[in-house]
Protein backbone atom coordinates (compact mmCIF):
# COMPACT_ATOMS: atom_id res chain seq x y z
CA UNK A 1 0.00 0.00 0.00
CA UNK A 2 2.88 2.38 0.79
CA UNK A 3 4.40 1.72 -2.61
CA UNK A 4 1.15 2.55 -4.35
CA UNK A 5 0.81 5.80 -2.40
CA UNK A 6 4.42 6.72 -3.16
CA UNK A 7 3.96 5.97 -6.84
CA UNK A 8 0.82 8.12 -6.94
CA UNK A 9 2.60 11.00 -5.23
CA UNK A 10 5.55 10.79 -7.64
CA UNK A 11 3.23 10.81 -10.65
CA UNK A 12 1.38 13.83 -9.30
CA UNK A 13 4.60 15.73 -8.64
CA UNK A 14 6.10 14.97 -12.03
CA UNK A 15 2.95 16.35 -13.67
CA UNK A 16 3.47 19.64 -11.85
CA UNK A 17 6.98 20.04 -13.18
CA UNK A 18 5.87 21.68 -16.43
CA UNK A 19 2.35 22.69 -15.46
CA UNK A 20 1.32 25.73 -17.41
CA UNK A 21 4.06 25.28 -20.02
CA UNK A 22 3.42 24.81 -23.73
CA UNK A 23 6.85 23.26 -24.33
CA UNK A 24 10.01 22.38 -22.44
CA UNK A 25 12.94 22.69 -24.82
CA UNK A 26 15.63 22.86 -22.12
CA UNK A 27 14.26 20.04 -19.95
CA UNK A 28 14.31 22.16 -16.79
CA UNK A 29 11.72 22.75 -14.11
CA UNK A 30 10.03 25.51 -16.12
CA UNK A 31 9.04 25.23 -19.74
CA UNK A 32 8.22 27.75 -22.41
CA UNK A 33 4.92 29.59 -22.80
CA UNK A 34 3.71 30.39 -26.32
CA UNK A 35 1.19 33.24 -26.54
CA UNK A 36 -0.05 35.13 -29.57
CA UNK A 37 -2.55 35.49 -32.35
CA UNK A 38 -2.45 35.61 -36.16
CA UNK A 39 -0.16 38.67 -36.26
CA UNK A 40 2.44 37.96 -33.56
CA UNK A 41 3.69 35.37 -31.08
CA UNK A 42 5.72 35.62 -27.88
CA UNK A 43 7.76 32.69 -26.58
CA UNK A 44 8.70 33.11 -22.92
CA UNK A 45 11.57 31.58 -20.94
CA UNK A 46 14.08 31.25 -23.78
CA UNK A 47 17.78 32.12 -24.02
CA UNK A 48 17.72 33.33 -27.62
CA UNK A 49 15.55 33.69 -30.72
CA UNK A 50 16.90 30.56 -32.41
CA UNK A 51 15.68 28.37 -29.54
CA UNK A 52 12.23 29.99 -29.76
CA UNK A 53 11.91 29.93 -33.56
CA UNK A 54 10.49 26.38 -33.93
CA UNK A 55 7.80 27.12 -31.34
CA UNK A 56 6.95 30.47 -32.93
CA UNK A 57 6.86 28.93 -36.40
CA UNK A 58 4.53 26.19 -35.21
CA UNK A 59 2.16 28.84 -33.83
CA UNK A 60 2.22 30.97 -37.00
CA UNK A 61 1.64 27.94 -39.25
CA UNK A 62 -1.85 27.66 -37.75
CA UNK A 63 -2.61 30.81 -39.76
CA UNK A 64 -0.66 29.76 -42.89
CA UNK A 65 2.13 32.16 -41.96
CA UNK A 66 5.78 31.95 -40.91
CA UNK A 67 7.51 33.44 -37.87
CA UNK A 68 9.88 36.38 -38.40
CA UNK A 69 11.99 37.47 -35.45
CA UNK A 70 11.16 40.94 -34.12
CA UNK A 71 13.02 41.40 -30.82
CA UNK A 72 14.07 39.96 -27.47
CA UNK A 73 12.65 41.38 -24.24
CA UNK A 74 14.57 39.72 -21.44
CA UNK A 75 13.75 35.99 -21.53
CA UNK A 76 10.98 36.50 -24.15
CA UNK A 77 11.39 36.26 -27.92
CA UNK A 78 8.79 38.16 -29.93
CA UNK A 79 8.01 37.21 -33.51
CA UNK A 80 5.72 38.57 -36.21
CA UNK A 81 3.59 36.10 -38.15
CA UNK A 82 4.06 36.97 -41.84
CA UNK A 83 3.01 35.50 -45.18
Query: Which DSSP helix (H) or strand (E) runs through 4?
Result: helix 2-16
pLDDT for residue 8: 54
pLDDT for residue 21: 85
pTM of the full structure: 0.76
* Structural domain of 31: 19-82
Domain-located, residue 44? yes
Chain segment 44-72, per-residue pLDDT in tens? 999 999 999 999 999 999 999 999 999 99
Domain-located, residue 1? no
Q: How confident is the model over 22-32, as a mean pLDDT?
A: 94
Torsion angles phi and psi, residue 77, rounded to 5: -105, 130
* Number of domains observed in the structure of the chain: 1
Domain-located, residue 49? yes
Domain-located, residue 12? no
Computed over its alpha carbons, how large is the radius of gyration of the chain?
16
Domain-located, residue 5? no
DSSP letters, 6-49, are HHHHHHHHHHHTTTT-SB-SS-SSS-BEEEE-SSEEEEES-SSH
Specify the 3-state DSSP secondary structure of 58: helix
Between these two residues, 5 and 3, which has the higher pLDDT value? 3
Amino acid sequence: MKRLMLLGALCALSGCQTAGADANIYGGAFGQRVVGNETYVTVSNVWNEMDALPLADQHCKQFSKAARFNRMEGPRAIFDCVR
